[in-house]
Amino acid sequence: MDRSGHLMDGAKIRSALSMMDERGSGEGAGYAVYGAFPEFADHYAIHVFFDAVHETKGLVDCELEKWGTIVHDEEVPTFENRNIRKVHTPWRYFYRPDPSLMPRSTTPEDDIVMHLVMKINTTIPGALVYSSGKNIGIFKASGWPEDVADFYRIQDYKGYTWLAHNRYPTNTPGWWGGAHPFNLLGWSVIHNGEITSYGTNRRYIESYGYKCTMYTDTEVVAYLFDLLVRRHGLSPEVAVKALAPPFWDEIDRMQEREQALYRAIRLAYGSAMMNGPFAIVVAQPESIVGFTDRIKLRPLVCGTSGSRLYISSEEAAIRIMEPDLEEVFMPRAGEPVIGRLGE
Amino acid sequence: MTIGSVPVRFGISVDHSRCMLCGRCVENCPYDVFRKEGDTIHVNSRKCVACHRCIAMCPRDAISIREHPVDYRSHPVWTQEAREAIYNQARTGKIILAGMGNAKPYPIIFDSLVLDACQVTNPSIDPLREPMELRTYIGKKPKRLEFVKDGDSLSLATPLAPNLMLETPIMVGHMSYGAISLNAQKSIAMAVREAGTFMGTGEGGLHPSLYPYQDHMIVQVASGRFGVNIDYLERGAAIEIKIGQGAKPGIGGHLPGEKVCEDVSCTRMIPVGSDAISPAPHHDIYSIEDLKQLVRSLKEATEWKKPVFVKIAAVHNVAAIAAGIARSSADAVVIDGFRGGTGAAPRVFRDHVGIPIEAAVASVDAKLRSQGIRNEVSIIASGGIRESADVAKAIALGADAVYIGTAALVAMGCRVCGTCYRGLCPWGIATQRPDLVARLDPEIAARNVANLIHAWTLELSELMGAAGINSIESLRGNRDRLRGYLLDESIMRVLDVKPVGA
């Protein structure tokens, strides 16, 4: 992330992710870029994978038009790559929901878009919405990081925050929808690990109207952040403390005020707490947060250079983007590293 | 002599070559099975209930007990139980009483559920080396939190309802003084205090000798209101309204007058020797809104400082009933499955009414979540929890904690003979006869019960660690970590679990 908002193209992130090919299997990679569509910055950039455009696009158009206006739509440009079989057609809509259709909501536009994402993903076979934020582009496919980057030519996009992920799939190899980043509204998530509490988290989040459709544990992270931060109004710091809270032993040793705070967080958000090994980076338009599970079963390393904040599984990936780092540090288990725009 | 003698249930034999005529069997058997005549121990097998007290006490292993030494002519429909019940009722014209829990061979769902463990893709966690959290809070949780910002520090603005803090999700359920002896209650009380958990008083009041343990006691308000006054309510850590129990859903309780000795009479607040009959319904609860009034009255009486639980038997419509309870201001709902034990229940109820706890917990958790009120109440599962794996499975199905009953009694020596209703428990547990009660040493029995809770807690930690989970919250409702083994599709739908291999 460039905290001063300066734009970076995708060339460096491509080389950083390629450094970590060993962590993947060539069956899934993806990128997210914040600030990708300045000409449509105020519209929701809804990205859809179509299995067969001519069969299903009409249904998606119809669903979107019920709730607002499609300002512009186009196929996402892709470039032939012999290592990637184009099994889906990626499409992007720039969309303006009609807030008057969702009365009694404090965030009607977001609620409409969230509803549409859940509706399309659960009722229209052959269409999968994989991104729905404003000014956010997601580029993912089944393949090695550099091939996926070239397939979309991510160096042609510019943004102030980039996420990148290289996948070693065990559950749904080869499925484009299973590649990270996962996105909902402004939230994008990349995740290294496996969430052993997925069943609990899914049951919790589904009772708030979210529907898990990606057959993978990572998507709940995006939904949990949306619920805790957007709908419940928690700060990203508190949200991370809800998802990876301190141990009771630590809470018992805290001062009274802090103790009351953390006890309440664990009581209220026990079902949102994530267990199992993970290192996660979550981005939203104004900030980025990286954190690990409570006993740090996955690596996470950070570096800074001027206004740039880097968060990665490996230092090598950071060094290839920025050889002259001012600071390199490894956050403690469960401690969030937060970067804010304008800091 | 129309019916005549039925075959004896147990045949006892004494190996006279081993017997040394010490007479302990004679002393120990409250059912008068044994008598010593000259140089021989004689037995009357017909009186035996197979409580195994004689076996446990015989220093020479000279006694053996055989079940059904003379059997009925076999028949697949007209089983021994069916025929004996008829003979019994033909003679007496009465309802048949039975003790302990459901004795029909219904399949046990717990035994058809298997737990998960980590391999490769996620590491298992070693509880000997890493923290493992079983601490459980029972009570209302806020749905969301508000904070106030004071400079750089945040303070909590959302008030928290009172919760019980358990160091392990295992509590001991309600067994009243009257149904069990004071020594048995004392043993459990010492054990739960040591284990950092809680026990229920049952509907029998709180004997003064248990006051030192009152911070670990959940006091019960049942339909007879026995033992209830403001002092009693204020002493408890929490209050439980008992609507029904799994062993006998839909009916009240009955403590025979013989068990109402001086001490029991004081604690229950009833005359010595009188039957204590709790009515089937609470006479002030004829609808869900009446329950709400009682919940709130109890809270008002105790200045909103104590959580109030509501216990119901697991019946067909348990999920909707629990949803009603969740809206009543109650802090926890206790679901008692049809295997729940009791001192005395009509056999027809014990064996035929209610549903298993596994299905009840699963449907209650699902219903509360679908209505967005899961945080309004904790779910306590009880009735047929026999080992730590059952605890893990109940929690994975959605329970916050469990109550054990029979298991705690077994830890004190109970052999599950099912004859509690006769008040002659030779183990000093389900009796008020002073010489029998004196057989139970509270110090030793407390150690046994505490050991049991400790051992299950350790096993639970190991199971969680193997599943890559280091906090009990992440096991709760985590049905992905369960698989059904040879369960039919409809029950797997209710449990919301996948079959093995899926």
Helical ranges in chain A per DSSP H: 11-18, 53-67, 108-123, 145-152, 198-206, 219-225, 236-243, 248-252, 256-268, 315-321
A112-121, A286-295, B152-161, B328-337: which range is least confident on average? B152-161
Cβ contact B182:B201 at 8 Å: no
User: In angstroms, what separates the C-alpha of B240 from chain A's closest C-alpha?
Assistant: 21
| A3 — pLDDT class (breaks 50, 70, 90) | very high
Q: What are phi and psi of B389, to 5 degrees?
A: -65, -35
Single out the residue of B289, B326, B290 nearest to residue B309, CA to CA: B326
Q: B41: part of which helix (H) or strand (E)? A: strand B40-43
| Cross-chain residue pair A267–B137, CB shorter than 8 Å | yes
SS3 B97: strand
Beta carbon pairs, A and B, within 8 Å: 118
Q: Which of residues 241-260 of A touch B (CB under 8 A)?
A: 247-249, 257, 260
Residues 65-124 of B with CB under 8 A from A: 118, 121-123
Residue B24 identity (one-letter amino acid): R
- Tell me the two tokens of residue A219: 């998507």
The SS3 call for residue A44 is strand
A284: closest CA of chain B, how far (Å): 21
Across the strands, what pairs with B354?
Answer: none
The alpha carbon of B309 is separated from its chain's Cα centroid by a whole number of angstroms, namely 15
Asked if B375 is an interface residue toward chain A (Cβ–Cβ < 8 A), one would say yes
Average pLDDT over residues B83-91: 95
pLDDT score recorded for residue B257: 83
- Of A194, A257, A264, nearest to B145 by CB-CB distance is A264
pLDDT at B135: 98
Does A215 contact B at CB distance below 8 Å? no
Shortest distance, CA B143 to any CA of chain A (angstroms): 6
Is omega for the bond preceding B212 within 30 degrees of 0, making it cis? no
Q: Over pLDDT 70: what percentage of chain B? A: 100
C-alpha distance from A260 to closest chain B C-alpha (Å): 7
| Residue in chain B lying closest to A271 (CA) | B473
Question: Nearest to residue B229, comparing CAs of B269, B179, B194?
Answer: B269
- In chain B, residues with a C-beta closer than 8 Å to the C-beta of A232 are 144-145
CB of B154 within 8 Å of a chain A CB? The answer is: yes
Residues A6 and A160: beta-carbon distance below 8 Å: yes
Sequence-distant contacts of B492-498: CB under 8 A, at least 24 apart: B494/B359, B494/B362, B494/B363, B495/B109, B495/B113, B495/B358, B495/B359, B495/B362, B495/B397, B496/B362, B496/B366, B497/B113
pLDDT of the residue at B63: 97
CB proximity B135 to A under 8 Å: yes
Question: What pLDDT shows up at residue B204?
Answer: 87
- SS3 labels along B102-148: CCCCCCCHHHHEEECCCCCCCCCCCCCCCCCECCEEECCCCCCCCEE
- Nearest Cβ partner for B122 among A202, A206, A277: A277
Residues B386-414 have pLDDT tens digits of 999 999 999 999 999 999 999 999 999 99
Residue B58 predicted with pLDDT over 90 = yes
Contacts of A276 in chain B (CB under 8 A): 122, 468-469, 474
Residues A195-205: what's their mean pLDDT? 94
Strand pairing category for B10-14 and A158-159: unpaired
CB contacts, 8 Å: A273 with chain B: 471, 473-474
| CA dist., res. A160 & res. B13, Å (int) | 88
Chain B residue at shortest CA distance from A293: B470
Distance from CA of B288 to the nearest CA of A (A): 24
Q: Which residues of B touch A271 (CB under 8 A)?
A: 374, 473, 476-477
Tell me the angle at which helices A11-18 and A145-152 cross, rounded to the nearest 10 degrees.
Answer: 160
What percent of chain A lies above the pLDDT cut of 90? 87
Q: Which two tokens stand for residue A257?
A: 């005020």
Backbone angles phi, psi at A107, to 5 degrees: -130, 65
**Model pLDDT, residue B1:** 61
φ and ψ at residue B480, rounded to 5 degrees: -60, -20
Residues contacting residue B420 through CB under 8 Å, at least 6 positions apart: B99, B100, B179, B342, B343, B344, B429, B430
Encode pLDDT of B433-488 as tens digits.
Answer: 999 999 999 999 999 999 999 999 999 999 999 999 999 999 999 999 999 999 99
Closest-approach residue (CA) in chain A for B161: A264
* pLDDT > 90 in chain B, percent: 86
What is the spatial distance between Cα B223 and Cα B251, in angstroms, rounded to a whole number?
A: 10
Q: Which of B145, B154, B476 to mutate to test the interface with A (most CBs of A within 10 A)?
A: B145
Residue B375: which of A268, A275, A276 has the nearest Cβ?
A: A268
In whole angstroms, what is the distance from residue B339 CA to residue A229 CA?
44
Task: In whole angstroms, give the CA distance from residue A95 to residue A247.
Answer: 44
Contact B480 A202 (CB under 8 A): yes
Tokens 């899934």 — which residue? A28
Place of tokens 């509907």: B203
Determine, for residues B142 and A277 on separate chains, whether the beta-carbon distance falls below 8 Å.
Answer: no
Q: Is A271 on the interface with B (CB under 8 A)?
A: yes
Distance CA A305, CA B461 (A): 44
Roughly how many angstroms between the first and final C-alpha of chain A, as a whole number?
A: 11
Q: Do A275 and B121 touch (CB under 8 A)?
A: no
Query: Choosing among A171, A192, A197, A258, which should be mutated to test the B contact, i.e. which has the most B CBs within 10 A?
Result: A197
Spatial neighbors of B182 by CB under 8 A, at least 6 apart, are B207, B209, B263, B437
Contact yes or no for A261 and B473 at CB 8 A = no
DSSP string for residues in A281-329:
EEEETTEEEEEE-TT--S--EEEEETTEEEEES-HHHHHHH-SS-SEEE
Average predicted confidence (pLDDT) for chain B: 95
pTM of this structure: 0.94
Mean pLDDT, rounded, of chain A: 94
How is B249-268 classified by DSSP, letter by letter?
TT--EEE-GGG--HHHHHHH
Q: State pLDDT tens for residues A148-196.
A: 999 999 999 999 999 999 998 877 777 898 899 999 999 999 999 889 9
How many angstroms separate the Cα of B130 from the Cα of each of B69, B230, B265, B461? 54, 45, 51, 11
Contacts of B481 in chain A (CB under 8 A): 196, 199
A168 and chain B in contact, CB less than 8 A: no
Cα separations (Å) of A11 from A18, A78, A240, A342?
A: 11, 16, 30, 24
Q: Report the alpha-carbon distance of residue B394 to residue B380 in Å, rounded.
A: 9
A279 DSSP β-pair partners: A192, A292
Q: What is the pLDDT of residues A238-295, one digit of tens each?
A: 999 999 999 999 999 999 999 999 999 999 999 999 999 999 999 999 999 999 999 9
Q: Give the residue, B150 or B53, on which the prediction is more confident.
A: B53
User: What is the rounded CA–CA span in Å between residue B403 and residue B170?
Assistant: 6
CA distance B113 to B362: 13
Mean pLDDT in residue range B259-284: 90
Kindly report, residue by residue over A37-96, the tens digit of the pLDDT.
999 999 999 999 999 999 999 999 999 999 999 999 999 999 999 999 999 999 999 999
Å between A247 CA and nearest CA of chain B: 8
Three-state DSSP state, B352: helix
Tell me if B147 and A260 make a contact (CB, 8 A cut-off).
no
Residue B369: other Cβ atoms inside 10 A:
19
**Mutation for B interface: A257, A275, A298, most B CBs within 10 A:** A275
DSSP B436-486: HHTTS-HHHHHHHHHHHHHHHHHHHHHHHHHTT--BGGGTTT-GGGEEESS
A340: distance to nearest CA of chain B, Å?
Answer: 16
